[in-house]
Amino acid sequence: MGQNSGMSRRALLQTAGAATVGMAMGGCGAEAKKAPKALPKFKNADFYDKDGKFILEKGKEAYIALMEYHGYPVTDNIRKGLWVSDYGKGQFTKLGLAAIGYLNEHEGCYLGQDLFLLPNQMLPEHHHMKTDAAPAKLEGWYVRHGISYTYGEGEETKDMKAVIPDLEKKYVSVKHETILKPGESTVLNRKEARHWQFGGPEGAILTECGSFHDNKGVVHSDTTLVFP
């Protein structure tokens, strides 16, 4: 991955409307809210019921708290269309993701979406393959808030910032680290390259730009992951 100055998701890529585009790309017309002074401390147990089932609305609330902390505009479209997952692992604060899609055009072969990671939360390793409908997806990320520790192919980074959850260690094959702060970006170095991300101390909010996303082409290194 190469850094420039300035990681899947299901039907969310078709659910968000044009209003979401305006909010996600700059918040035009969104009601400004004063950011909270501190980001809440998230406890994993708070996201599961007595039977161990993930409480989706609790997950959404956590990401909305992250958005409000960073001053990211929270609209009705985002509240309704936000895709959230703990990947069926029961360790949401360590392994999870939220995303909101606003562009995914097959004919033009382009995509736009925002990704959200809580503090010290991992987006699991995966790569994109060619399908009958689309070539292997290419993508890049621009950090808007927080820090994203982004990992891909290349020489293994010593003393990585990310702390890989025990349940995912055996599935991680790439450990070349690119640290992205607000206003910085990186891209995949080639098609089908494996990659994953990790939220910094204040989480991360990223804009992803890529080619058309066909969910059939997403291959996770951990084949035991479960999706909503």
* Average pLDDT over every residue of 58-79: 97
pLDDT band at 37 (very low <50, low <70, confident <90, very high): confident
Please check whether residue 64 lies inside any domain of the structure. yes
pLDDT band at 217 (very low <50, low <70, confident <90, very high): very high
pLDDT digits (tens, 9 = 90+) for 151-179: 999 999 999 999 999 999 999 999 999 99
- pLDDT(12) > 70: no
Considering its fold, how many domains does the chain have in total?
A: 1
Please check whether residue 43 lies inside any domain of the structure. no
* Average pLDDT over every residue of 50-55: 98
Please check whether residue 211 lies inside any domain of the structure. yes
Q: What is the pLDDT of residue 6?
A: 42
* Average pLDDT over every residue of 127-138: 96
Write the secondary structure of the chain as one string of H (helix), E (strand) and C (coil): CEEECCCCCCCHHHHCCHHHHHHHCCCCCCCCCCCCCCCCCCCHHHHECCCCCECHHHHHHHHHHHHHHHCCCCCHHHHHHCEEECCCCCCCCCECEEEEEEEEECCCCEEEEEEEECCCCEEEEEEECCCCCCCCCCEEEEEEEEEEEEEECCCCCCCCCCCCCHHHHHHCCCCEEEEECCCCEEECCCCCCCEEEEEEEEEEEEEEEECCCCHHHEEECCCCCCCC
Provide the residue range defining the domain that includes 116: 2-26+52-220
At 71, which CATH number?
2.60.120.10
- pLDDT(5) > 50: no
Higher pLDDT, 193 or 9: 193
Please check whether residue 31 lies inside any domain of the structure. no
